[in-house]
Structure 1
């Protein structure tokens, strides 16, 4: 990103895994970086990277942090996975009101470029999508199975609608675009991979589900960094504002079965890969029941659901997208990565199989899981027939 050498870039959610990685990349190119987040950075920052602690829900804090910025990367969001998906109030406040605050602050502070990190979920709600492109309409809001996806759709719509809005003090207009990444992975990723490894190490990962031919996509963190840098550059006059008002699907460009993607991680840590395969419908129903239970007991015991309904769809139903538009308009060319570096990262932190459970023990656990799922399914039959 050549322009980054003279730019000041504000990154909301900048202390998260992806935000920090993006900041480091921009910094090495000479950009001045402002990290805006509610949490302090876990890693030590170079002296010339500025951290501003603040809440995206508070407009005054957002506007103050944006002073002097030329480009904003709006990464901050809430409710992507696990029990976070069930906190509707906070999801709404961060994803929708927070984005409104960012847009208004850009206008007030004369920030001319905004790159928004969206999600595949704005068009996906459990239906099969094969090689979809950006001409796909937004999924109707009432069809989203979770509030995160619904609010990310609203936020992306607002960002793209704001494209071309006049900035204060005659500073030109706001140029905005949105990137829709697949599931992010890489060494040190803190949201999804530790949860998966935790399930494996606790012996919970005993089954897979869905059609073995179903395909989904992932994106390595460094490919996603590259896409953001290219999108920001494509908002400039030097690039004829090519990405202005546009949305782009971003992935590694290699559709793969979700569970086969994680096989090298599971086996690389010394664990057997599950052989039991369950139907998506059954696992989805169990996830639904789990969410209902969480709704009842969550205020007292905020447990982590094994899976949510959206996670079942995202991992068990085919949905992958063409990146022709990103390649043509941004010059995006993903590099090829695998999970070897992820395995090494976990092993370097003491993860990996430290014992061999008995064959009998594994059979008993598999039987209990199957029995529980079958019992749930059978209990549902009277409602189906009524």
Structure 2
């Protein structure tokens, strides 16, 4: 009997948290996986998974990596959060030009399947969305409050347009789809959770903001892995290529208030959850001023903003989406997870110490923080009669 052919997968951005988790899952199922990234994963790479150092901004390197692959997961991106959001040049080069390189290389090398990791943000720019589906139009590019979301939208549109392009080797066409995940969480996540825990431990997380009834969504890393694997399968002939040219919202399917979602993490590490709630408009204004300051002094001192305007909208304005299309066409069924494993992961690394100082001291700090925010906002308001 002829031995079944091993499927070859390339993962751009494969050294990142999600990319590496996806690689390990594919590897356990018998696939051969290549990680294409600027630096190797922080965790030990299992035998059978290959790391290939490369820059997505260099077409020759992308073409070399793509050659011989059966399927490409294009995950690599830049500028999702924090000060990265303010580096417009690098965001453009990685998210737009990098995606163009991947698409071109797939066509040239005869790769028939491509799954693009997009974002909720291609349709969201601060407006309320309740149970939205994939029929929602792209947000007009000029309405995006940040360049990351704008470039991810441009890149997704390019992927959708490229789906159906004839491959240069004459073996068929490129079939591509896009997954739009919510905010990713899970044990070991290195982009958002350490920043949040750092704010907690430094005593900065002393207030929440926005309407307590506002709802957002998150996706556990393993649910997102499952969605990508299902999307890759749905691009194959056995499944009538049903995901080709399609986009899908992916989350845990459980809308929740952003701050309430993180309450188990705060309290699980032994800290008190903030009682002070500030207006969303005030925090947005402070974020705007912070971005302006960063624009002025960033070349000299590239500090980490407490929040950017996009992060304020993403955390404080209701936006959640239907999983109906992903369930019907991909067979996606998100499993239930909580933050307990995340709490234990941080505790195992020495986090969770209670803050020092009396309750009176903490109240004084809260008052000083609020006064500073109000003073900063008022200082930029026009003076009456001037």
Bin of the TM-score, shorter chain as denominator length: over 0.9
2:92 matched residue in structure 1: 92
Q: Measure, in 1, the Cα distance between the counterparts of 2:355 and 2:81.
A: 30
2:30 matched residue in structure 1: 30
Q: 1:382 to 1:244 in 2, by over 3 A?
A: same
1:61-140 superposed matches below 5 A: 61-140=61-140
- Using the TM superposition, give the Cα deviation of residue 272 of structure 1 relative to its aligned residue in structure 2, in angstroms: 0.2
Count of residue correspondences: 383
Q: Measure, in 2, the Cα distance between the counterparts of 1:322 and 1:268.
A: 30
Question: 1:297-355: CA deviations, max 9, x gaps?
Answer: 00000000000000000000000000100000000000000000000000000000244
- Using the TM superposition, give the Cα deviation of residue 385 of structure 1 relative to its aligned residue in structure 2, in angstroms: 9.4
Q: Is the 8 A contact 2:201 2:355 kept in 1?
A: no
- Using the TM superposition, give the Cα deviation of residue 367 of structure 1 relative to its aligned residue in structure 2, in angstroms: 1.0
1:102-251 superposed matches below 5 A: 102-251=102-251
Q: 1:252 to 1:14 in 2, by over 3 A?
A: same
- Using the TM superposition, give the Cα deviation of residue 48 of structure 1 relative to its aligned residue in structure 2, in angstroms: 1.4
Higher mean displacement: 181-190 or 37-46: 37-46
Q: Is the 8 A contact 1:186 1:221 kept in 2?
A: yes
Q: Measure, in 1, the Cα distance between the counterparts of 2:38 and 2:143.
A: 31
Q: TM-score, normalised by structure 1?
A: 0.97
Matched position secondary structure for 2:35: strand
Q: Measure, in 2, the Cα distance between the counterparts of 1:175 and 1:297.
A: 45
1:319 matched residue in structure 2: 319
Q: TM-score, normalised by structure 2?
A: 0.97
Q: 1:20 to 1:383 in 2, by over 3 A?
A: farther
- Using the TM superposition, give the Cα deviation of residue 383 of structure 1 relative to its aligned residue in structure 2, in angstroms: 7.3
1:361 matched residue in structure 2: 361
Question: 1:118-150: CA deviations, max 9, x gaps?
Answer: 000000000000000000000000000000000
1:352 matched residue in structure 2: 352
Q: Does 1:277 align with 2:277?
A: yes
Matched position secondary structure for 1:380: coil
- Using the TM superposition, give the Cα deviation of residue 380 of structure 1 relative to its aligned residue in structure 2, in angstroms: 3.3
Q: Does 1:49 align with 2:49?
A: yes
- Using the TM superposition, give the Cα deviation of residue 275 of structure 1 relative to its aligned residue in structure 2, in angstroms: 0.3
2:258 matched residue in structure 1: 258
Matched position secondary structure for 2:243: coil
Question: 1:167-199: CA deviations, max 9, x gaps?
Answer: 012021000000000000000000000000000
Q: Is the 8 A contact 2:130 2:318 kept in 1?
A: yes
Q: Does 1:58 align with 2:42?
A: no
Q: Is the 8 A contact 1:177 1:246 kept in 2?
A: yes
Q: Is the 8 A contact 1:95 1:151 kept in 2?
A: yes
Q: Is the 8 A contact 2:271 2:354 kept in 1?
A: no
Q: Measure, in 2, the Cα distance between the counterparts of 1:13 and 1:334.
A: 24
- Using the TM superposition, give the Cα deviation of residue 381 of structure 1 relative to its aligned residue in structure 2, in angstroms: 3.1
Question: 1:183-216: CA deviations, max 9, x gaps?
Answer: 0000000000000000000000000000000000
1:291 matched residue in structure 2: 291
Q: Measure, in 2, the Cα distance between the counterparts of 1:374 and 1:104.
A: 51
Matched position secondary structure for 1:170: coil
Q: Does 1:382 align with 2:357?
A: no
- Using the TM superposition, give the Cα deviation of residue 384 of structure 1 relative to its aligned residue in structure 2, in angstroms: 9.8
Q: 1:244 to 1:55 in 2, by over 3 A?
A: same
Matched position secondary structure for 1:127: coil
Structure 1, gaps ≥5 residues long? none
Q: 1:115 to 1:385 in 2, by over 3 A?
A: farther
Q: Measure, in 2, the Cα distance between the counterparts of 1:84 and 1:279.
A: 26
Aligned Cα root-mean-square deviation (Å): 1.3
Q: Is the 8 A contact 2:10 2:34 kept in 1?
A: yes
Q: Measure, in 2, the Cα distance between the counterparts of 1:372 and 1:27.
A: 52
Matched position secondary structure for 1:190: coil
Q: Is the 8 A contact 1:7 1:32 kept in 2?
A: yes
Question: 1:243-279: CA deviations, max 9, x gaps?
Answer: 0000000000000000000000000000000000011
Structure 2, gaps ≥5 residues long? none
Q: Is the 8 A contact 1:11 1:36 kept in 2?
A: yes
